Amino acid sequence: MKVNTNIYSKELKRYRNSFIAWSVSISVLILMEMAFFRFLIKGDMLNLMKIFFENPFWKKALAAFGWSADGLTNILGYYGARNAIYILLLGIFFSILLAGKILALEENEKTAEFLLTKPVTRLEVVRSKLAAFITYLLLLNIIILAIGFTGLEIFKGDSDYRPVAFLIYSSYSFLLMLAFGTIGLFISLLMKRGRPITNISIGIVFGGYLIDILSRVTASTEKFGYLSPFKFIDTGVLRPDYGLEWWRVLYFLGLSFLLITLTFIIYKKKDILI
Amino acid sequence: MMGEMYVIETQDLTKYYGKDRGIIDLSLEIEEGEIFGFIGPNGAGKSTTIRTLLGLIFPTAGNGRIFGLDIVKQTKAIKKQVGFMPSEVNYYAKMDGHELLQYSASFYNTDCESRIRDLAEIFALDLDRKIVDLSRGNRKKISILQSLIHRPRLLILDEPTSGLDPLMQAKFFDILKEENSRGTTIFLSSHTLSEVQKNCRRVGIIKEGKIIAVEDIETLRKKQLRRIQIEFAHPVQGEEITCLGMIASRADRNILSFMYSGRMNDLLEALAGKDVKDLIIEEPSLEEIFIHYYSDEKEDSRKV
């Protein structure tokens, strides 16, 4: 599994500024959200929101992501619920957009002609770019973990939480982002001459999100939800038995592995038309 | 080793893009140390040939070898020894010239720093400017450097001079000759015939995806093809003379001009009873020979 360090370090450099911008934005958002928790507890916000929790549709919809009147009064429950909407989605966008262009841009900007006439194999190119992508995704998740943990500690007040549950939730987040990233990588490969997949990516993420939410509202649509990767993340951070479940982990890793393998197979044989 | 080894060798190399023709049954043998010209009009399949040789696209049928290595399976080993200049230069816009060349050099395990400096000086190239800010000619110069800095054994050049001013073209060919004298084989694709005529020893002519001739430049010129112009004492009427081997004849008042590949005696006999004021027999340019090949092919296909 040889990675070409020239390509790897060039890719890291190329996307460094974009990575910094995403990391800073997400970090600031996490801290703002956490600060808002104190406001929520001190003010009478939760009572005002009761209307939502009493409406059966909204109750179910909100419960789908761990939103409940009780859950929101706990700092980790609050983190999980808010995070599912803001941070997780942002992280997924970072992932799918980066993976969607890290390989495809070479064709789109016609630099593939330069790169692929150097002494590198196609597989080394994919591997090196994949390595750069995973490096940034891991770094982003480490930052989210660190900032999230800091936020929890600063703003928890007298609300208590299990750090392990936070760690598990963060692992699920990472796996979900990884899975969406590999979806982006794979789809970008199918586009003619590396056309940008930004719109498709956004569609896939929101589509998946919507499928998951709708599937949780009624029992009849429950199975439908398994079409969406969102279905496989467990947001019930406050459950005492909350833990990493092997079938969820297997799903994320399996999906990622499958898409990466398909990417290798297709890219190895692909005509680079410029 | 198996007999004679060619630097580039293809057998019935064929590439279709879906149903569209790229190249058909292309067979080429290029010897070590030669400068081989590859000419044909746009869309004839020159770039398709080069992209297939370089593993950017994969052949539909046939096979090819460079340095005896398979162009599909051993492409990495091939590229270690190849320098390539594309016809249209597309580089990472945000890099400056120096970064691009260093990135390029990083793929070969040789120190190219002094070579980069020397060549930049020869071509009067400012390496501190970003690719995006460079003119087409300057990008082309970067491309020249990029193809040369690792001292490849084979240079594959796809219309290398388009966008270069005449002075730079001259410098470029000086460098190519220098490289060639060191033993570098050069595969020069072009649609500028004078360029090929001046710099190559052999030429392959490609038309509609097929090689229609591979000739020594000398042989090609010495082929019995002549440009003939006859001035009669009277206006040329209809078919003034008919002679086997006359091509593309054109009458303009008293003057009849045509290309002739037949026997001189036949022509002289045909002219014997005529009132000829002047007769000019010239060696045609490569361009005319080239066009002749094309018109020949067309006539052949009409017969079929």
Minimal CA separation from A95 to chain B, in Å: 22
pLDDT digits (tens, 9 = 90+) for B181-236: 999 999 999 887 778 888 999 999 898 899 988 988 887 777 778 889 999 888 88
Minimal CA separation from A111 to chain B, in Å: 5
DSSP B55: T
Q: Does residue A132 form part of some domain?
A: yes
Q: Quote the tokens at residue A189.
A: 């490969």
Say if the Cβ atoms of B55 and A112 lie within 8 Å. Answer: no
pLDDT digits (tens, 9 = 90+) for A135-150: 999 999 999 999 999 9
DSSP A208: H
Q: Does residue A30 form part of some domain?
A: yes
Say if the Cβ atoms of A114 and B75 lie within 8 Å. Answer: no
Q: Is B59 left (phi over 0), alpha (psi -120 to 50) or beta?
A: beta
CA distance A97 to A188: 10
Q: What percent of chain A has pLDDT over 70?
A: 91
Q: Does residue A29 form part of some domain?
A: yes
Q: Does residue A111 form part of some domain?
A: yes
**What type of residue is B129?**
R
The mean predicted confidence, pLDDT, of chain B is 88
* Domain membership of residue A54 as a residue range: 5-269
CA-based nearest residue to B84, from B57, B42, B138, B47: B47
**What type of residue is A6?**
N
10 Å Cβ neighbour count for B148? 21
Q: Does residue A19 form part of some domain?
A: yes
Q: Quote the tokens at residue B53.
A: 């040789």
The structural domain count of chain A equals 1
- The answer on pLDDT for A79 being more than 90 is no
Q: Does residue A274 form part of some domain?
A: no
Return phi, psi of residue B81, to 5°: -110, 10
**What ipTM was assigned to the predicted interfaces of this complex?**
0.86
Q: Which of A2, A14, A107, A113 to mutate to test the interface with B (most CBs of B within 10 A)?
A: A113
- The answer on pLDDT for B302 being more than 50 is no
> What is the structure's pLDDT at A62?
67
As a whole number of Å, the CA-based R_g of chain B is: 23
CA distance A30 to A24: 10
Minimal CA separation from A106 to chain B, in Å: 9
Q: Does residue A242 form part of some domain?
A: yes
Q: Does residue A166 form part of some domain?
A: yes
DSSP A3: -
Say if the Cβ atoms of A111 and B51 lie within 8 Å. Answer: no
